[in-house]
Structure 1
């Protein structure tokens, strides 16, 4: 048994499907299945029962998953002790979505680096909230910056409320701010149907009784602004993307009434390394909700 196998067990228990767990671990699904089978054979017990397309943790498996989490937490604490003893050259890893990264890099990072010049900060770029959650869960990041809500196995520290705006091609005859009812029948770039992001937008539309036209439905963020620039549709997204949109020649308008999402720093339920705790303290002290 080794630490890699313990990480595989924890990821499989959290994702409940071998496919999703393998994707989160950046390995092939057959390789994960073999590793789990080998561990079950070594331990002489069944950890996961196959159920349809997913897996269910067995009674024995729940105990193993609990101990595996504790073992991985212990390893992280040992690593944190080493990091605390050798601050120079240490690396703080922060996962962030593309739309929130400008605020992170423009405001928080310079202040943190000025106070902690011996620590290198690495931004783990994630394509959406779910990717940030996975990066934190899988220990690829010490902290995550994303909007809420996040799963309850993570701890969140709200920092601010960020406005959702309408990003449109130039030349549209629209007021600023734009009344919410003007979104009715408007062509929009939207996340894929059924995705958590899409469900949130659908809830907003239902609340205000509007029905936009889904012109493009995709979770590939790299396609969004080019589609707006080409005049195919408008886009609802965070104010943090406004500068990038303006540079691309697009028009940014507020909504009426205003819609805001809570932005937070998230981390696993464990003792944070000193450098991560210092960053959290700085962020909470300088945040404005």
Structure 2
């Protein structure tokens, strides 16, 4: 058994097909299949059950893959120590949706850096919830901040329930809270059509028989706010991130009935680096305060 074989089984478990795993490892698929078979023969156990074009991790395989991930993480930490003379620059990568990035950068990251000043936090901006999930699966981020639900192959740590509110230019004759029916015909800036966030909003509109006038479709936070500042449209956004809108002179109103989403830190089912564990502890402590 060697580290290369451990990397092969972990990649196969993450991608669920030999073809995709081989592509991610930059090797030929037959070579990967042969290496997996050799390891299974050496261990005397079946790690993957073949299922159509994909593979399913067996009960024995789950235990082996968990230990393989821990071993590979430990090797990575040792290599980092060696390459930095025992004092590595620690980096923590956190994926976030555009609508949650401001809260991450303005509240969670400063609180974390106050306790762990030696860690450099990189925010990986993603195109909605699906982008966060992909960034974690592809190991481009250690953690993700998104609203739920996410696929069951990720572990979730719920932090808070955030209310979705209506942010409008001043001068609109609207009550507070705004009945859902009043969104019918309202000029709105919305996420890009086809995105996970847009699908959820469209489902909400359908539930209440509401058809807004779509003025702008974008996943850029600044684009949304600029449309509201200029008086072109209103915006549905999280209340926890509405301080920026209030400072800009915009009006924030609740919806009736209220709509709330669970915000969570998510990550892959593997041993987290110490920096990510510490961030989780800081985030959960802040949500409990």
Aligned with residue 75 of structure 2, among 78, 83, 94: 78
1:74, distance to aligned residue in structure 2 (A): 4.3
Matches of residues 136-175 of structure 1 in structure 2 within 5 Å? 136-175=136-175
| Of 180-189 and 86-95, the range deviating more from structure 2 | 86-95
TM-score, normalization: structure 1?
0.73
Rg bigger for which structure?
2
Matches of residues 236-251 of structure 1 in structure 2 within 5 Å? 236-251=236-251
Tell me whether 1:39 sits opposite 2:32 in the alignment: no
| Of 191-200 and 76-85, the range deviating more from structure 2 | 76-85
Change (3 A) 1:76 1:60: farther
1:246, distance to aligned residue in structure 2 (A): 3.1
1:271, distance to aligned residue in structure 2 (A): 1.2
The C-alpha deviation readout for 1:80-107, integer Å capped at 9, x for no partner, is 4566895652112212223223322333
Tell me whether 1:204 sits opposite 2:204 in the alignment: yes
Name 1:134's counterpart in structure 2.
134
Change (3 A) 1:149 1:225: same
For the 8 Å contact 2:81–2:88, the answer to whether it is kept is no
Name 1:117's counterpart in structure 2.
117
Gaps of 5+ in 2: 35-49
* Secondary structure of the structure 1 residue equivalent to 2:211: coil
1:236, distance to aligned residue in structure 2 (A): 0.6
1:150, distance to aligned residue in structure 2 (A): 0.9
Structure 1: how far apart are the matches of 2:172 and 2:275? 48
RMSD, aligned α-carbons = 3.9
* Secondary structure of the structure 2 residue equivalent to 1:223: helix
1:265, distance to aligned residue in structure 2 (A): 0.4
Aligned with residue 62 of structure 1, among 55, 60, 67: 55
| Of 155-164 and 179-188, the range deviating more from structure 2 | 179-188
Change (3 A) 1:43 1:104: closer
1:174, distance to aligned residue in structure 2 (A): 1.4
Name 2:228's counterpart in structure 1.
228
TM-score, normalization: structure 2?
0.73
1:165, distance to aligned residue in structure 2 (A): 1.1
For the 8 Å contact 2:13–2:65, the answer to whether it is kept is yes
The C-alpha deviation readout for 1:35-70, integer Å capped at 9, x for no partner, is 5xx61354578xxxxxxxxxxx96575269x89977
Tell me whether 1:214 sits opposite 2:214 in the alignment: yes
Aligned length: 265
Structure 1: how far apart are the matches of 2:118 and 2:262? 31
Change (3 A) 1:2 1:266: same
For the 8 Å contact 1:164–1:260, the answer to whether it is kept is yes
Structure 2: how far apart are the matches of 1:222 and 1:130? 20
Name 1:29's counterpart in structure 2.
none
1:240, distance to aligned residue in structure 2 (A): 3.5
1:274, distance to aligned residue in structure 2 (A): 1.7
1:260, distance to aligned residue in structure 2 (A): 1.2
| Of 115-124 and 139-148, the range deviating more from structure 2 | 115-124
For the 8 Å contact 1:181–1:210, the answer to whether it is kept is yes
Change (3 A) 1:40 1:89: closer
Change (3 A) 1:207 1:93: same
Gaps of 5+ in 1: 22-31, 46-56
1:13, distance to aligned residue in structure 2 (A): 4.8
